[in-house]
Amino acid sequence: MDKHYSLNKTNSGQSLIEALIAITVLVVGIISLISLLMNARSTAREVEKETIATQLGAEVMEAARFVRDSNWLRREDGDGTAEYYDGLRDGTLYNGYYTWDPTSADPGTAIMFRFTSGGPTTDQEKIWIDGSDYYRQHQIPGSILGWTESGFERIVSTYPICYATGVGEYLITADGDTCASDTEIGIQVRVQITWTIAGDEHVRIFEERLYDWKYAEIL
């Protein structure tokens, strides 16, 4: 009887250990699954933000190309005062922001690059989601009704590209500077998109050079 009782006690102890091991494996599996799901959700969110940032950068590039090409059409239609950079800077101010108004039927007012001395303010940099779920910067910050902050900010810079004989191309990157006696052959569009996820700031910069290849002359 004593031997039989000892055998049952051993089996009972083994069963308890096996149960604890099984529970531990199950708990570890559940925690790993939860962690995996959380990481997947975080990754999906980051990918979504990256996609939006890329679209916000591409939007400005397309708008700048549209403005340049429209200026060429004005010139071809007989407007001798038209310059390819009209609307892409304000005199020698190159740092600003871009606004788009889908309610305007006039491209001249619907698509605008706005420049201020010292660059845009924090409110001007903000991108909002309007009542139609469009991502937009507003031309009159503070007068936005029914719009929500997207969490993105955007700064636009349009730097003249100069050409000097024996030197080649170089950029003007400060407000007030010009190509002077050198030839201006194009403009570099630079877009900076900023957003924050879980306290971490993300910055993406997009750059593209648009040349005045129809009319610029290199001597």
The domain locations on the chain are: 32-211
User: Is residue 219 predicted with pLDDT exceeding 70?
Assistant: no
Residue 193 or 26, more confident: 193
User: Is residue 177 predicted with pLDDT exceeding 70?
Assistant: yes
Query: Where residue 13 falls among pLDDT bands split at 50, 70, 90?
Result: low
Query: Where residue 193 falls among pLDDT bands split at 50, 70, 90?
Result: very high
What rounded mean pLDDT belongs to the chain?
Answer: 86
| Structure-block tokens of residue 13 | 């102890």
Quote the pLDDT of residue 203: 96
Contact 191, 58 (CB under 8 A): no
Mean pLDDT of 99-121: 88
Quote the pLDDT of residue 173: 94
218 alpha-carbon distance from chain centroid: 34
| Structure-block tokens of residue 131 | 């009542």
Quote the pLDDT of residue 109: 84
| Structure-block tokens of residue 10 | 């051993």
202 beta partners: 195
Contact 163, 181 (CB under 8 A): no
The 10s digit of each residue's pLDDT in 65-93 is: 999 999 999 999 999 899 999 999 999 99
Can you tell me the distance from the alpha carbon of 90 to that of 115, in angstroms, rounded to the nearest whole number?
Answer: 6
Contact 56, 135 (CB under 8 A): yes
Can you tell me the distance from the alpha carbon of 11 to that of 24, in angstroms, rounded to the nearest whole number?
Answer: 20
